């Protein structure tokens, strides 16, 4: 139902996480010459309850700023939206209950999901498109649902569901499915396009008040693929270090292009931007001003990348 791509063990090769409907999830570890399915060993084959759920869309991205991609995926009513935290040791720990995500999501049905920093505070939030799988009334369940943003609490606290607070009840609910993300009006805040069955698509413009500073990084590969897919990006500012990577594999029956987005909170400057290209070239930029989109072209070689710093 969903496929996420990220280098979860930092070996320089992108891996694949796949959600399945009422079956085991897959995690395909990239060995270079083949993929090895390791979901059970990595702790992501089943949820914390040990049962099958209807896994739908997902995002495979670092949400806690430790440098290791985590996983969030969504499912149907009474199945929760599992949150899998990368231990940095080649496996994952499910934190759905202690993080507050279980309580917040248990009554919801979700299809699309994406980790993006909607208020630019430096922590990626989770947007979920919602709607029941059935079209006919189901006792005790809503068919048409509102979309929801789960706000990332940062280093402490629990994830909270923001629906009315985020303005997502402004239109009638629906059986939402796909979602795509991007800054549609160039104001540094991530907007969302959502689809629904039998209804018009919805465009949700991010109008978060008190939003922080931001930096968008557009990539152009030379030795790597043209769009820089698979490149990992580290940004260091006064508030700390963040990680993201270039991927289009986000959500459910959808994809989202770059640039790679970072919220910087109160920081007006990124002291360091480090890009690890799929080719292996590491490129470093210094003292990059916030609140802009920068276009970065991959150097032809590692020596060229180093000479550009002089």
Count the neighbouring beta carbons within 10 Å of the beta carbon of residue 140: 7
In this prediction, residues 248-269 reach a mean pLDDT of 97
Residue 196 above 90 pLDDT? Answer: yes
Q: What does the alpha-carbon distance between residue 208 and residue 196 come to, in Å, rounded to a whole number?
A: 24
Q: What does the alpha-carbon distance between residue 28 and residue 16 come to, in Å, rounded to a whole number?
A: 5
Residue 82 above 80 pLDDT? Answer: yes
Q: Tokens 């799929």 belong to which residue?
A: 278
pLDDT band, residue 303 (cuts 50/70/90): confident
Pairing of the two strands 213-220 and 292-297? parallel
The pLDDT tens digits for 117-159 are: 999 999 999 999 999 998 887 777 789 999 999 999 999 899 9
Q: Tokens 């978060």 belong to which residue?
A: 208
3-state DSSP of the chain: CEEEEECCCCCCCCEEEEECECCCCEEEEECCCCEEECHHHHCCCCCCCCCCCECCCEEEECCCCCCCCEEEECCCCCCCCCEEEECCCCCEEECCCCCCHHHHHCCCCEEEEEEECCCCCCCCEEEEEECCCCCCCECCECCCECCEEEECCCCCCCCEEECCCCCCCCCCCECEEEEEEECCCCCCCCEEEEEECCCCCEEECCCCCCCCEEEEEEEECCCCCCCCCCCEEEEEECCEEEEEECCCCCECCCCCCCCEEEEEECCCEEEEEEEECCCCCEEEEEEEECCEEEEEECCCCHHHHHHCCC
pLDDT at 308: 57
Averaged confidence pLDDT in the chain: 96
pLDDT band, residue 307 (cuts 50/70/90): low
Contact of 96 with 83, CB cutoff 8 Å: yes
Q: What does the alpha-carbon distance between residue 255 and residue 237 come to, in Å, rounded to a whole number?
A: 29
Sign of CA dihedral 61, 63, 69, 75: negative
Q: Which residues of 270-288 are buried (b: 16+ CB within 10 A; e: fewer)?
A: beebebbbbbebebebeeb
Structure tokens at 209: 């008040």
pLDDT at 310: 36
Q: What does the alpha-carbon distance between residue 252 and residue 231 come to, in Å, rounded to a whole number?
A: 22
Q: Whole-model pTM?
A: 0.95
The pLDDT tens digits for 3-41 are: 999 999 999 999 999 999 999 999 999 999 999 999 999
């Amino acid at each position: 139902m969903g496929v996420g791509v990220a280098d979860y063990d930092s070996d320089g090769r992108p891996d694949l996480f796949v959600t399945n409907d009422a079956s085991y999830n897959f995690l395909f570890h990239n060995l270079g010459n083949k993929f090895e399915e390791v979901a059970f060993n990595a702790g992501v084959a089943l949820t914390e309850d040990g049962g099958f759920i209807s896994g739908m869309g997902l995002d495979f991205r670092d949400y806690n700023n430790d440098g290791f991609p985590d996983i969030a995926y969504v499912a149907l009513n009474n199945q929760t939206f599992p949150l899998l935290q990368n231990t940095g040791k080649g496996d994952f720990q499910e934190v759905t209950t202690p993080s507050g995500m279980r309580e917040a999501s248990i009554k919801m049905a979700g299809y699309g999901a994406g980790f993006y920093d909607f208020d630019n505070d430096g922590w990626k939030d989770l947007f979920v498109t919602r709607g029941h799988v059935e079209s006919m009334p189901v006792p005790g369940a809503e068919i048409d649902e509102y979309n929801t943003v789960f706000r990332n609490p940062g280093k402490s606290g629990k994830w909270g569901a923001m629906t009315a607070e985020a303005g997502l009840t402004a239109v009638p609910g629906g059986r939402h499915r796909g979602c795509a993300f991007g800054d549609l009006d160039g104001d540094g805040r991530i907007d969302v396009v959502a689809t629904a069955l039998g209804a018009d698509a919805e465009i949700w413009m991010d109008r978060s008040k008190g939003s922080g500073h931001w930096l968008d990084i557009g990539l152009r590969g030379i030795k790597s693929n043209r769009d820089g897919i698979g490149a990992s990006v580290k940004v260091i500012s006064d508030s700390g270090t963040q990680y993201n990577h270039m991927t289009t594999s986000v959500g459910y029956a959808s994809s989202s292009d770059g640039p790679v987005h970072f919220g910087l909170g109160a920081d007006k400057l990124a002291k360091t931007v480090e890009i690890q290209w799929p080719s292996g070239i590491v490129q470093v930029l210094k003292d990059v001003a916030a609140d802009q989109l920068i276009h970065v072209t991959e150097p032809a070689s590692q020596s060229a990348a180093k000479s550009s710093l002089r």
